[in-house]
């Protein structure tokens, strides 16, 4: 799994390089955080979740507890179908896990300043590039899953699931019920059905 984790930055960097000429037109500015407050599902792979989990464990204990509370709150809101700002968004509108933020956050920018009536607008080639990058991430994480950030972190907090996942084993039956009710995708299935 360490070997796979080491490959994440390379995949993110390749996207950044290829999207750079488009992203220079972005209207995004410091402190905007529209994508983090009005976020739809922030979909991540389990491998990205593992990197974020390690980042959380490096935080001071009181902050870790705060994050856990924010993640539980987010789960409850999302389970009842309500939108919620990202649990990692600080009051200062900075990202608590910026260096480990998932690809869902790296791919987003907008050609105009966004508001409720004007959601983000991206260049079409970058959207295609982002879809290809997601596929690369899912192929890399071929024993894993994809779903909303707090749901994936919840799964990784389950000792039995974590043990299976870290052993490189693939037992979808372990998360079948939760997966169905929380829109969790099996990466292998997504790969087979592009």
| Dihedral sign (CA 80, 84, 90, 94) | positive
What the block records as the tokens of 138 is 């899912």
Site for ligand SF4 in 50-109 (CB under 6 A): 86, 88-89, 95, 97, 101, 105
Q: How far is CA 159 from CA 55, 61, 154, 168, in A?
A: 18, 20, 10, 14
By CB under 6 A, is residue 114 in contact with ligand SF4? no
Our CB check for ligand SF4 shows the closer of 59 and 95 to be 95
Stretch that binds ligand SF4, among 7-15, 17-25, 36-44, 111-119 (CB under 6 A): 36-44
DSSP class of 184: P
Nearest-5° Cα angle at 82, 114 to 68: 95
By CB under 6 A, is residue 156 in contact with ligand SF4? no
By CB under 6 A, is residue 39 in contact with ligand SF4? yes
Binding site for ligand SF4 (CB under 6 A): 36, 39, 42, 86, 88-89, 95, 97, 101, 105
């Amino acid at each position: 799994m360490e070997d796979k984790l080491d490959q994440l930055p390379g995949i993110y960097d390749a996207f950044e390089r290829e999207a750079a000429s488009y992203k220079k037109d972005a209207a995004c500015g410091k402190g905007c955080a529209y994508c983090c407050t009005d976020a739809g599902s922030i979909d991540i792979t389990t491998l990205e979740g593992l990197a974020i989990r390690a980042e959380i464990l490096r935080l001071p204990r009181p902050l870790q507890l705060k994050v856990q509370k924010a993640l539980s709150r987010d789960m409850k809101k999302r389970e009842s179908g309500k939108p919620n700002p990202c649990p990692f968004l600080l009051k200062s509108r900075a990202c608590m896990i910026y260096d480990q933020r998932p690809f869902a956050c790296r791919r987003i920018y907008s050609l105009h300043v966004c508001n409720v009536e004007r959601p983000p607008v991206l260049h079409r080639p970058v959207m295609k590039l982002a879809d290809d990058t997601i596929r690369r991430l899912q192929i890399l994480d071929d024993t894993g899953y994809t779903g909303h950030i707090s749901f994936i972190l919840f799964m990784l907090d389950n000792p039995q699931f974590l043990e299976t996942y870290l052993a490189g084993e693939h037992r979808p039956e372990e998360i079948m019920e939760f997966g169905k009710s929380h829109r969790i995708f099996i990466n292998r299935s997504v790969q087979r059905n592009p």
